[in-house]
Amino acid sequence: MSNYKTINLERYSIMFKALSNPHRLQIFNLLTGCCEPGTVCSTNEAISCCVGELDQQLDIASSTLSHHLKELNRAGLLNMKREGKQIFCSINPSTLIELGDLFSAESTIKPN
């Protein structure tokens, strides 16, 4: 009996595609990479930014940003939640954990 983790190939290729664009990876980084030293970003309540705050840091048109956020959301990496006029974005912690698992031992990707 195997103790392999079995994961989905198609789902992962969508996640990797989402992270393959430099602007999207930058967004990912802004939302994960600014935890305090010693804290664990992936399991804490995530950092939350509204779209406008991300826009200020990214040097792309806001319509382009919108498109990228949709891609990250579609890939299961990003949570989006409206509060009044603003929409707050945060990284989905469970997807982050999944990705970590992929590169640790005994993982196998399930075809289809």
Partner DNA sequence: TTTATAATTCGACATATTTCGAATTATAGG
Partner DNA sequence: CCTATAATTCGAAATATGTCGAATTATAAA
Q: Which residue ranges make up the site for DNA (CB under 7 A)?
A: 17, 20-21, 23, 50-52, 55, 60-71, 80, 82, 84-87
- Tell me the closest approach of the beta carbon of residue 109 to a second copy, in angstroms: 4
Name the segment binding a second copy (CB under 8 A); options: 32-40, 46-54, 62-70, 80-88.
32-40
Are β-strands 5-8 and 78-83 bridged in parallel, bridged antiparallel, or unpaired? unpaired
Residues 67 and 54 sit within 8 Å (Cβ to Cβ): no
Is 45 a residue that touches a second copy (CB under 8 A)? no
Dihedral pair phi/psi, residue 70, rounded to 5°: -65, -40
